[in-house]
């Protein structure tokens, strides 16, 4: 039977990460202390994915992720799986928050699929039509690493782009239909944007599935000149964190927009009406058929009950606008993989 490629209008998705259940955090701690075997931890990861996928689906998410339950950190996770990295130890990022910054100490090589098993498990346990697989982009991995082997960051980034490309192709081969490249660092060095954008394109070369690009903590005016050049179908961007004052920056966007409607840095849960209001505002710029609804960023750092409540607010707010659109005959939107949205 042919798959129905339509999604409800204003499809709801997540960026990727979701708070780990408390019991999983305990088990990780026990594993790190040598108290439980790896097999037990693997089982716990699987159970956690089942729980958080269900939680997303119950709260109206149309395109869930696996909550990145197996990933401690978005760069470190990949650095452990790519040949050529070494870890010297954690460093502080701010206050008392640490990051195990990887170092590139040798030629970078793809060893084996990094996310295929994650995807296959997610696909098995989710009842959603489509699921999303987030992958950290080459520029962010390079920017957040010590580059001790390659002569320049650019050289290291393009090597990583080839690796990410190979991984996306492995995901495509395994049946993945929606991969999101996460590039929070992309705009942090405006003078590097020209080649950084090409590195992201290198990562998507020859890929024939839907590719999203998530960029956060950013000045999007730096990204704007590259909207067209980036070979992706969707930009997932944050707006709630800026009280939606920056939405004008997507004027002229001809791709889909994943519109961030809840702030992941605040524990205050948005009301459905606030979410609806924000969606109405963005629809003055982006047509509803080209809009996805998502949180600003990964929900990982929030307490789980707040994350859950934010998902619900996101759904309830979207539902208000969906009803308004229904009256205009807009019920569905196709799942697109093309790098434009019918403008």
Partner 1 sequence: MEIILSFNGGFPRDEKVAKIHSMRNSGELDESEFMDLILQRSSKLIQGLKRLNYAILTDGLYWYDDILNPVIRNAEGIEVNGLRRFFDNNFFVRVPVIKGEIKYRDAGFAQWLKSSVNNARKVMDTNQRIKAVLPGPLTLTYFSEKEQNTSLKNLLQSWSKGFLIESIRIVEEAGYDAIELHEPALVAKDTSEDLVVEALSELKELASTTTKPIFVIIYFGSFNKKNSIWLKKLSDNVTLFIDPFKTRTSVLKRYVSKGSIASLGIGVINARNPLPESFNFYRKWMELAEELGVSELFFGNNAPMDFIPPRPALSKLKKLSRFRREVLKA
CB of 88 to partner 1, least distance (A): 5
Q: How far is the CB of 137 from partner 1 (least distance, A)?
A: 15
Token digits of residue 63: 């395109």
206-226 burial by CB neighbour count: b if 16+ within 10 A, else e? ebebbbbbbbbebebebbbeb
User: What tokens appear for 67 in the block?
Assistant: 């909550």
Shortest Cβ 307–partner 1 spacing (Å): 21
Q: How far is the CB of 146 from partner 1 (least distance, A)?
A: 6
Closer residue to partner 1, CB minimum distance, 96 or 127: 96
DSSP state of 34: T
Give the tokens for residue 339. Answer: 């790098």
Comparing CB distances to partner 1, the nearer of 154 and 177 is 154
State the residues that interact with partner 1 by CB under 8 A: 88-96, 98-99, 101, 103, 143-144, 146, 148, 188-189
Nearer to partner 1, 191 or 284 (CB): 191
Rounded to whole angstroms, how far apart are CA atoms 182 and 184?
A: 6
User: Is 90 or 107 the residue whose CB approaches partner 1 more closely?
Assistant: 90
Residues 15, 132: Cα–Cα separation, whole Å: 8
CB of 148 to partner 1, least distance (A): 6
| Rounded Cα–Cα distance for residues 53 and 42 (Å) | 17
Q: Report the distance separating Cα 331 and Cα 321, nearest Å.
A: 11
Query: Is 90 or 225 the residue whose CB approaches partner 1 more closely?
Result: 90
60 CB contacts (<8 Å, ≥6 apart)?
Answer: 12, 311, 312, 314, 315, 316, 318, 319
């Amino acid at each position: 039977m042919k798959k129905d490629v339509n999604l409800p209008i204003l499809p709801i998705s997540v960026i990727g990460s979701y708070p780990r259940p408390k019991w999983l955090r305990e088990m990780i701690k026990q594993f790190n202390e040598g108290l439980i075997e790896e097999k037990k931890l693997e089982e716990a990861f699987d159970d956690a994915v089942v729980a958080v996928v269900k939680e997303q689906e119950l709260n109206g998410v149309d395109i869930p992720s696996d909550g990145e339950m197996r990933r401690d950190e978005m760069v470190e996770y990949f650095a452990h799986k790519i040949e050529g990295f070494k870890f010297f130890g954690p460093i502080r990022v701010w206050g008392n928050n640490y990051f195990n910054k990887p170092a590139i100490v040798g030629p970078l090589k793809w060893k084996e699929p990094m996310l295929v098993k994650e995807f296959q498990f997610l696909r098995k346990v989710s009842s959603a039509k489509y699921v999303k697989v987030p992958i950290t982009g080459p520029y962010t991995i390079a920017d957040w690493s010590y580059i001790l082997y390659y002569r320049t960051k650019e050289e290291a980034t393009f090597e990583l782009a080839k690796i990410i490309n190979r991984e996306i192709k492995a995901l495509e081969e395994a049946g993945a239909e929606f991969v999101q490249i996460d590039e929070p660092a992309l705009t942090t060095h405006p003078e590097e944007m020209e080649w950084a954008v090409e590195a992201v394109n290198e990562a998507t070369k020859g890929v024939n599935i839907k590719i999203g690009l998530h960029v956060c903590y950013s000045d999007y005016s730096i990204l704007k000149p590259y909207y067209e050049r980036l070979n992706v179908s969707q930009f997932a961007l944050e707006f709630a964190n800026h009280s939606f004052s920056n939405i004008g920056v997507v004027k002229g966007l001809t791709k889909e927009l994943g519109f961030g409607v809840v702030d992941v840095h605040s524990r205050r849960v948005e009301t459905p009406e606030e979410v609806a209001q924000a969606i109405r505002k963005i629809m003055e710029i982006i047509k509803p058929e080209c809009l996805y609804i998502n949180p600003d960023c990964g929900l990982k750092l929030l307490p789980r009950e707040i994350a859950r409540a934010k998902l619900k607010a996101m759904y309830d707010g979207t539902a208000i606008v969906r009803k308004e659109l229904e009256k205009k005959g807009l019920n569905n939107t196709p799942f697109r993989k093309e790098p434009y949205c019918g403008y």
